Chains A and B, each alone.
Chain A
Amino acid sequence: MDLAQLYETFKGLENPSIWQEFYVKFYNAWFFEDRWMSYFRGLVTTIEVTVIALMIGVILGVLVAVIRTAHDQQRPGSKNILNILLGIVNLVCKIYVTIIRGTPMMVQLMIMGFVIFASSREATLVGALALGINSGAYVAEIIRGGLMSLDPGQMEAGRSLGLGYLDTMRFIIIPQAFKAILPALGNEFIVLLKDTSLISVIAGKEIVYFARAIITKTYEPMFPYLITAVMYLIMVLIFTWLQTKLERRLRQSDRR
């Protein structure tokens, strides 16, 4: 007996058992009219949004972190135009981080979707942008923390050998900082991946959006939401696995 037949049989029952009822609900949420495809359409959007937001977040984060660290590590006293400019840019970065960290993700998303880009039809793209800008602030603080956590002796050793600031950063500080921040960064990426579910509030078409669309047809929220949860869980598990592998590879120089 195939699944559709089973569904019809159970649906026709007058007093279905709880399992038969579950089966009908699940069938409605997944197989009926090929609904499972819309979850995967949502999944593709989720991945797209995550990747775009991740790129925006990392670029913004690195930029802000480098500006703020460079500003903090300036030789005090040298007051040329470049340093004053750096001071101004640093202030802008500080304000950016403060605002983003001080307001809820959902509110930021709504302001982006309904105020700044109210006339835009590309809700998904606007959502990706909002997430990227949000993530950038956190990534910046993570990277800055990583750069600051290193023994200042590393920078001093590099500089005392006659390497410039940028060379020291590139060969000595950043590789070590990257290894140190990888767990925190992975965590942030997982948060980002899960936060993509929020873009449904501005009508971004990711998994939750489609799950809700199905619920409005079936009036049964249990399975669509459970399916959504499982899909996110699987994505996070895959990502965590990749992260562990990367961390293990980077730990090479720690062997004794």
Chain B
Amino acid sequence: MIDVKHLTKSFGDHLVLNDISEHIYPGEKVVVIGPSGSGKSTFLRCLNLLESPTSGTITFNGMEITNPKSNIDLIRRQMGMVFQHFNLFPNMTIRKNITLAPVRTGLMKQNEADEVAMTLLRRVGLEEKADAYPAQLSGGQKQRIAIVRALAMQPKVMLFDEPTSALDPEMVGEVLDVMKELANEGMTMVVVTHEMGFAREVASRVLFMADGNILEQNSPKEFFANPQHERTKLFLSKVL
């Protein structure tokens, strides 16, 4: 589904991603973990070109994202993204936050989009917040709305960039529950996270990144039971 070939990214002299090749298959739930500064967020952000790679190619369903001639907006419509800091639009109501993109991109009419928004909001238990503004919500509620906003575009894959890192501990659960539900429905997901429990429970594959390389990958069971690499062992001993 997403094919990454020889992806390299550097900021100035600093090499963040070092020749990464990876493939993400439909229906997979790939969880990327690793120490901070390892390049996991940059890797994720390259997948929908929020960061432009220094070299290498990324192909999504046969469309080459990294080709400057490809229409990046069309590709991004099929890739939902959830950010660490939610990035809801504070100048709009929740309803408008969710419906803006589907309506503006011509995916739906306003009334269809409103219906989709309400259905999705009901699913995450926030239908009474439709007319509230983001500033009136808690962090966990904001993140659930952000997920709904991305889902409203009916994406084929969802990218999560540390979706629970900015949340108060008691709100992490409600966001992870929504993500688990989404995973159970068969959504293709790439998740950068520090939630090892989530990785163990939901992932179909765990990638471990350090210093711009994917050092190790495995099924979650194997990964946590028998880490191969020294670096992985060190990391796991610190976080588990």
B22 CB to nearest A CB, Å: 20
Confirm or deny: B14 has a beta carbon within 8 angstroms of a beta carbon on chain A: no
> Which of B52, B77, B133 has a CB less than 8 Å from the CB of A162?
B77
In whole angstroms, how far apart are the Cα atoms of A172 and B89 in the complex? 7
Interface of chain A residues 148 through 197 with chain B (CB within 8 A): 151, 153-154, 156-164, 167, 171-172, 175-176, 179
**Chief secondary structure at chain B's binding surface:** loop
A187 CB to nearest B CB, Å: 22
Chain B neighbourhood of A153, CB < 8 A? 83, 85, 87
Confirm or deny: B5 has a beta carbon within 8 angstroms of a beta carbon on chain A: no
A246 CB to nearest B CB, Å: 15
* Known contacts A160-B81, A172-B91; is-contact A256 B104 (Cβ 8 Å): no
> Which of A76, A156, A171 has a CB less than 8 Å from the CB of B100?
A171
Q: Mark each residue of chain A from 55 to 77: 1 if its CB lies under 8 Å from any CB of chain B, else 0.
A: 00000000000000000000111
A157 touches B87 (CB 8 A): yes
Confirm or deny: A119 has a beta carbon within 8 angstroms of a beta carbon on chain B: no
A171 touches B90 (CB 8 A): no
B6 CB to nearest A CB, Å: 17
In whole angstroms, how far apart are the Cα atoms of A162 and B149 in the complex? 12
Closest to B107 in A: A162
* Known contacts A161-B153, A163-B105; is-contact A156 B50 (Cβ 8 Å): yes
Q: How large is the interface on A (under 10, 10 to 19, 20 to 34, 35 or more residues)?
A: 20 to 34
A256 CB to nearest B CB, Å: 5
**Chief secondary structure at chain A's binding surface:** helix
Confirm or deny: A78 has a beta carbon within 8 angstroms of a beta carbon on chain B: yes
B103 CB to nearest A CB, Å: 10
Q: Mark each residue of chain B from 79 to 121: 1 if its CB lies under 8 Å from any CB of chain A, else 0.
A: 1110101011111100000001100110000000000000000
Chain A neighbourhood of B80, CB < 8 A? 160
Chain A neighbourhood of B135, CB < 8 A? 253-256
Confirm or deny: B231 has a beta carbon within 8 angstroms of a beta carbon on chain A: no
A162 touches B85 (CB 8 A): no
What is A's interface to B at a CB cutoff of 8 Å?
A: 75-78, 151, 153-154, 156-164, 167, 171-172, 175-176, 179, 253-256
B73 CB to nearest A CB, Å: 5
Chain A neighbourhood of B133, CB < 8 A? 253-255
Closest to A165 in B: B73
B90 touches A253 (CB 8 A): yes
Confirm or deny: B136 has a beta carbon within 8 angstroms of a beta carbon on chain A: yes
29 contacts between A and B (CB under 8 A): A75-B52, A151-B87, A153-B85, A153-B87, A156-B50, A156-B83, A157-B83, A157-B88, A157-B89, A158-B101, A160-B48, A160-B50, A160-B79, A161-B77, A162-B76, A162-B77, A162-B78, A162-B101, A163-B73, A163-B101, A163-B105, A164-B73, A167-B104, A171-B89, A172-B89, A179-B91, A253-B91, A254-B90, A256-B136
Closest to B79 in A: A160
Closest to B76 in A: A162
Closest to B150 in A: A161
Chain A neighbourhood of B169, CB < 8 A? none
B91 touches A161 (CB 8 A): no
